[in-house]
Structure 1
């Protein structure tokens, strides 16, 4: 849907811009020439002059729409785009009902239709929250956290994360390092009546919280198999990234479907600009999509 909307914006901007230009360079001079010819034949009343100079309705509409649509297209395509969080895969960092802003220029300026990178502006860092096109269906936008960079070896075993950073310049390579985490609380979040464990994790320079479900086993049988490596081990190819949800036992991420190609990156999530609660039941009088409240305490930057 987001891709179709981008194409729609480009088409409307192009059509209205062409109409405006054609009127300025072709139609408006013809209207003025007709007025000058009519005035040469005799004095015209002001209403008649105004009528002869009046723009056609389609031109007037295009000229009123073009600046607004062009501004929205530039803002959304190259600067910031709003997204709504539809699931709990990034809890506790992001909750259902959070509306975030994604910095589109964080990893390069791309054209809004073919998404070809025109200018390189940076690369994802470990710990970044990224929005990207789901590699299995690029019409769907996913949001996860960057865990593995190109060349890294990622190991996820017994719900513990290990990272062996790319080491082309080192020999021998350092051993995989356990990502440090400390328990914050139990029971703040629950799933099917099971209290979730909240940990604070240090991922590169980023400190963030994750959730672990103590009642769920590790679904290694469903993990993406990277060559001959054991289940739960992955080596990130060049030009690709390994991404995971903060809600570790309730996230379909790189562990299950593989890596995120650089070309699929949409941008970096930078802040929550509004957050709504949706606590209505299906039998309530009002529809479930109408918010029941606003979580002002959640508004702000992300880490």
Structure 2
């Protein structure tokens, strides 16, 4: 034993102590202390060398390192570092829709900060690394649901706050129709339209675990415990009027003085063609505008009339509005008040408000919910109140009339939160080419 310790190099001992200290802090952060056994591996790697860790890289004849094994080691190390970064710190996403314009545009490539709220540990154990829910160049699932892990989030350095832009798994994305071509429709919207039996008879159904649902990005408007209301398109949080971010936009109806809106005008206002609607019958355009762009157009000679869109009558709403109950005559611009559930909060439940919280109780928190004989039963017991086991959030897109958000499908559970949108590192305009395709003014922009 003295001979063994006598061979230890002081430099290697320093490396071992530093690596061990970092690893112990990591284990403490994770809370999985059984991982401490790996310190024995570190000790052998840096100090004792009972296991010939590098022998496979050496030529048996000359004893020199071989090129290919060295290259393989470098690639494996790079992959391991990228995997750790993606899991615990940062993940890259690309924005496919206009729901967050003008804060974030279609074609923006962003980094999401996972450390801020704490990294969520993988919930699907058997999954292809560096994929989400499908294999590359295929529609086949990139995961197997043989073993699913319980929700676990490591400690972060902050919590979700009002107006944070968060990335999360789409709550209604647990059941999908792979052959559905209209991306604006979901399994649940179709169930409400044509019935579950019809869907099951004509479509293939795919069920996804929480961390394999599609990724969405929205602005958090309601925190756990908040009371939220929307009046004439304006959000009120606990009775206080929202602080409207500068880039938020609403739809407006307008008539162009020349009868048409030129592409140069739309480009100057940074308006996406995807959100422009034109009614040929009365020559009226419907376009999304920020307050600044609205004021600019109103003062110009380019339009003959302009009026803000407001959805007032549920009968004329273009989308089904949460909570999909005839007793709640809500629209996307007028809804509430409603209480956003908070962990350990107890709320009275009755036949009037159960539509607001039925999905939380039965799906997200996995209880057996039944309504019979004008009474509510949870796990077989008649209930007049319910205590929530998780935090929930109410989110909205900045493109208020062109966003599929909590107004249309309800609350976001805490275990669906991925991280906070942090930085736009690349921004590409889909309808342009060459250097003009790059939006230089959006590059390396902090997302607020």
Indicate the TM-score class for this superposition, using the shorter chain for normalisation.
0.5 to 0.7
CA 265–293 in structure 1, closer or farther in 2 if over 3 Å, else same = same
CA shift, 1:60, in A, is 5.3
Task: Find out whether 1:223 has 2:321 as its counterpart.
Answer: yes
What residue in structure 2 maps to residue 140 of structure 1? 214
Q: Deviations over 1:148-188 (max 9, x none)?
A: 00111111232221221xxxxxxxxxxx2232559999873
Q: Secondary structure at the match of 1:248?
A: coil
Following superposition of structure 1 onto structure 2, how do residues 146-165 of structure 1 map, counting pairs within 5 Å?
146-164=220-238
Aligned partners of 2:56, 2:224: CA distance in 1, in Å? Answer: 60
CA 149–230 in structure 1, closer or farther in 2 if over 3 Å, else same = farther
Q: Secondary structure at the match of 2:289?
A: strand
CA contact (8 A) 1:145 1:243 kept: yes
Aligned partners of 1:128, 1:63: CA distance in 2, in Å? Answer: 40
CA 196–276 in structure 1, closer or farther in 2 if over 3 Å, else same = same
CA contact (8 A) 1:223 1:256 kept: yes
Q: Deviations over 1:112-164 (max 9, x none)?
A: 45562132432101010000011112420000000000111111232221221
What residue in structure 2 maps to residue 69 of structure 1? 79
CA contact (8 A) 2:119 2:419 kept: no
What residue in structure 2 maps to residue 99 of structure 1? 109
What residue in structure 1 maps to residue 241 of structure 2? 178
What residue in structure 2 maps to residue 191 of structure 1? 276
CA 151–275 in structure 1, closer or farther in 2 if over 3 Å, else same = same
Q: Deviations over 1:9-29 (max 9, x none)?
A: xxxxxxxx9xxx8x9925766
Q: Secondary structure at the match of 2:230?
A: strand
Where does structure 2 lack aligned partners over 5 or more consecutive residues? Answer: 1-40, 125-150, 174-209, 253-265, 278-284, 293-306, 343-390
Partner of residue 308 from structure 2, selected from 208, 211, 214: 214
Where does structure 1 lack aligned partners over 5 or more consecutive residues? Answer: 1-16, 36-47, 165-175, 201-212, 281-285
Q: TM-score, normalised by structure 2?
A: 0.46
| C-alpha RMSD of matched pairs (Å) | 3.7
CA shift, 1:264, in A, is 0.9
CA shift, 1:257, in A, is 0.7
What residue in structure 2 maps to residue 204 of structure 1? none
What residue in structure 1 maps to residue 340 of structure 2? 236
CA shift, 1:263, in A, is 1.1
Aligned partners of 1:88, 1:254: CA distance in 2, in Å? Answer: 16
What residue in structure 2 maps to residue 85 of structure 1? 95
CA 54–298 in structure 1, closer or farther in 2 if over 3 Å, else same = closer
CA contact (8 A) 1:152 1:235 kept: yes
Task: Find out whether 1:124 has 2:160 as its counterpart.
Answer: yes
What residue in structure 2 maps to residue 302 of structure 1? 447
CA contact (8 A) 1:181 1:199 kept: no
Q: TM-score, normalised by structure 1?
A: 0.65
* Count of residue pairs brought into register by the alignment: 236
CA shift, 1:253, in A, is 0.3
CA 150–49 in structure 1, closer or farther in 2 if over 3 Å, else same = same
CA contact (8 A) 1:245 1:252 kept: yes
CA shift, 1:292, in A, is 4.9
Q: Secondary structure at the match of 1:268?
A: strand
Q: Deviations over 1:264-296 (max 9, x none)?
A: 11110112111111115xxxxx8xxx8851111
Partner of residue 51 from structure 2, selected from 25, 32, 36: 25
CA 82–263 in structure 1, closer or farther in 2 if over 3 Å, else same = same
CA contact (8 A) 1:226 1:235 kept: no
Q: Secondary structure at the match of 2:76?
A: helix
Q: Deviations over 1:178-205 (max 9, x none)?
A: 32559999873362232433138xxxxx
